[in-house]
Amino acid sequence: MSTKRYLLACVLSLGLLCATRPADAAVMVSVDPAAPWQGFMNVFELPSNGGGFVFNGSWGTADLTAVFNGNVLTLGPNTVNDPSPFWYTPSGGPGSTGNKNMDANMYVQREDLSTGDTVTFAGTVLSNTLVSPYTSVAFIKDFAPDFSSFNQVNVPLTPGDFSISLPTVAGAGRHVQYGFETIGPNVWITDVGPKGNVQVTQVPEPAGIALLGVAGVALLRRGRGRGHRAAA
């Protein structure tokens, strides 16, 4: 076997070792449009009305509003296609004021991380034009089996790369979620534009290359250098 092929085999072996690592090692996740994304909404009264909890439940991802276009996910203020005064003041229509505070969660849930894995969620924020009082963060949450409690870490979505990590709790039946949480009053559909949005995508570097790390890249470069010298 040539030196270059040997080095490539070493790098591939390193990748396989990463893929078959112990269950309590690092788990990398990203903004993958092919992942099974879900939506969940928590609805509250506006702070001016006391801010009390109203209800929550599963919510269509497009209704959050959270939509993939290729590899880019756009997160915006929530809209409700119901003109009832419950949702809008005085009632729904162009120029109306949202009457509820919406806590929209766009996330992937993992049930296979119950042995204390450290989960790292990384991505790239292309832009954030949300205006106050709207906010959006990336998060990882580790829920108890009955969802009665959870640990979490989050980071505001500011332009550039983000990466957050959470050591999860070992225990059967726990639920790990990662994704995005966008909070603010609901908006009539025709009035969304001026409120802004956030666009996020995967980190530019493929995950497989990142797992190989500096050592793997160095081996490849060294192999290429030796190949050039041997051919000289």
Kindly indicate the confidence band of residue 67, based on its pLDDT and cuts at 50, 70 and 90: very high
The partner residues of 179 in beta bridges, in order of sequence, read 107, 139
Q: Give the domains, in start order, of the chain with CATH numbers.
A: 1-24+205-232 (no CATH), 31-202 (2.60.120)
Given a cut of 80, whether residue 14 has pLDDT beyond it is no
Q: How far apart are CA 221 and CA 209, in angstroms?
A: 13
Contact between 187 and 77 under an 8 Å Cβ cutoff? The reply is yes
Quick: pLDDT tens for 180-208.
Answer: 999 999 999 999 999 999 999 998 755 44
Q: How far apart are CA 79 and CA 66, in angstroms?
A: 11
Asked, as a colleague might, if the bond just before 90 is cis with ω within 30 of 0, I would say: yes
- Phi first, then psi: give them for residue 187, nearest 5 degrees: -130, 140
- Average pLDDT of the residues of the chain: 84
Average pLDDT over residues 109-120: 88
**What integer pLDDT is reported at residue 205 of this predicted model?**
59
Q: Pairing mode, if any, of strands 118-128 and 198-201? A: antiparallel
SS3 of residue 209 by DSSP? helix
